[in-house]
Structure 1
Amino acid sequence: MVNETIRKIELNKFNNELGFKMALAIINLSKKRNQNIAVAIDRLNYTVFLFVDDNLSSDNQNWLRRKANVAKRFEESSLSVKYDLANGNMNLEETFALNSKDFLAKGGAIPVFVKDAGMIAVITVSGLKDEEDHKIIIDALKGEFID
């Protein structure tokens, strides 16, 4: 399991400019690794940033949306939800009545919390294997944006 313990990112503050810088850090790392990804930074009610690499299909934007919905609903990373469901022998549709057209429990969406304010945004990546989608977010943000 890759970075299973990273269920959320907690910051002292978050604004759209910081979200933009985080997205660029993720894209720059993907370019260094020759990986094609899609990235979205969403506040709870609007999109701050959206990028889909030229080599990906439009399906990746839908994957971004569905994974982000899981992170928003459970307030933890979509990868940790995937593991929790597997460990509890549960699934989104039967256990939580969530439609698979709108929710996808695969790695790649991590909620952003602001201390003393709660969840404020979700960072989502698609295009790689789901555990790698999760990992590239952590790898790109570690050090500069998160501890």
Structure 2
Amino acid sequence: MTAHDAWPTLDELERQEADVVLPELTEQVAYNLGRAAVDAAWPDALPIVVGIWRGDHQLFHCALPGSTADNDEWLRRKGRVVRRFERSSLYMGQVCRDAGTTLQAKFLLPESEYAAHGGAVPLRVASAGVVGWMGVSGLPQRDDHAFVIRILREHLASRS
């Protein structure tokens, strides 16, 4: 296993989440984030779906060429993990890998509704905590996660 193949530690994932706290999550912010994700994915023809939610309200969705309705379902399943645990779906998957179990076994959650696979990241607002989530589906799970973190970091850097 190479370093690139290594799973991130829980500490690394916690730091990533702490690095992407937003000042606010408005419809305009969601649009800007979603558009940035689509713009970043398009040149490389990444076959992903992008989604952003605030609570139960989906503020952004885009399906790029090569993605399917199955990616939408994976995205919803990963998002349910974020909503339930207020942690990234990759973080919760790592909690389970570290414990030698699965999300379904550890928390008695149906696999048909919850997927502890990377790609959904909580959207924390400095003054309010977790208010939503952003996710992508269509790449290997660590790549899905890294893509979302990259877009959030770039968004925050552009505001300074």
- Cα distance in 2 for partners of 1:12, 1:40 equals 19
| SS of residue in 1 equivalent to 2:16 | coil
The answer to whether the aligner puts 1:35 opposite 2:32 as a matched pair is no
**What do the CA deviations read for 1:47-89 (whole angstroms, capped 9, x no partner)?**
1111112322210110110000011111011111111110012
What's the counterpart of residue 7 of structure 1? 17
Give the aligned CA root-mean-square deviation in angstroms: 1.7
What's the counterpart of residue 88 of structure 2? 77
The offset of 1:33, in angstroms, is 2.5
Flag the structure with higher helix content: 2
- Residues 32 and 142 of structure 1, relative CA distance in 2, 3 Å threshold: farther
**What do the CA deviations read for 1:5-41 (whole angstroms, capped 9, x no partner)?**
4236311211111011101111111112231210110
The offset of 1:136, in angstroms, is 1.0
Which of 67, 72, 76 is matched with 2:78 structurally? 67
What's the counterpart of residue 3 of structure 2? none
The offset of 1:90, in angstroms, is 2.5
What are the residue-to-residue correspondences of 1:113-124 with 2, within 5 Å? 113-124=124-135
Contact 1:112 1:119 in 2 (8 A): yes
The answer to whether the aligner puts 1:126 opposite 2:137 as a matched pair is yes
TM-score by length of 1: 0.91
What's the counterpart of residue 56 of structure 1? 67
Contact 1:26 1:141 in 2 (8 A): no
| SS of residue in 2 equivalent to 1:10 | coil
What's the counterpart of residue 122 of structure 2? 111
- Cα distance in 2 for partners of 1:108, 1:12 equals 22
TM-score by length of 2: 0.84
- Cα distance in 2 for partners of 1:101, 1:142 equals 31
Contact 2:49 2:72 in 1 (8 A): yes
What fraction of aligned residue pairs are identical, expressed as a percent?
27
**What do the CA deviations read for 1:77-118 (whole angstroms, capped 9, x no partner)?**
111111111001232222111111110000000001111211
Structure 1: 5+ residue runs without aligned partners?
A: none
What's the counterpart of residue 55 of structure 2? 44
| SS of residue in 1 equivalent to 2:21 | strand
- Cα distance in 1 for partners of 2:82, 2:115 equals 9
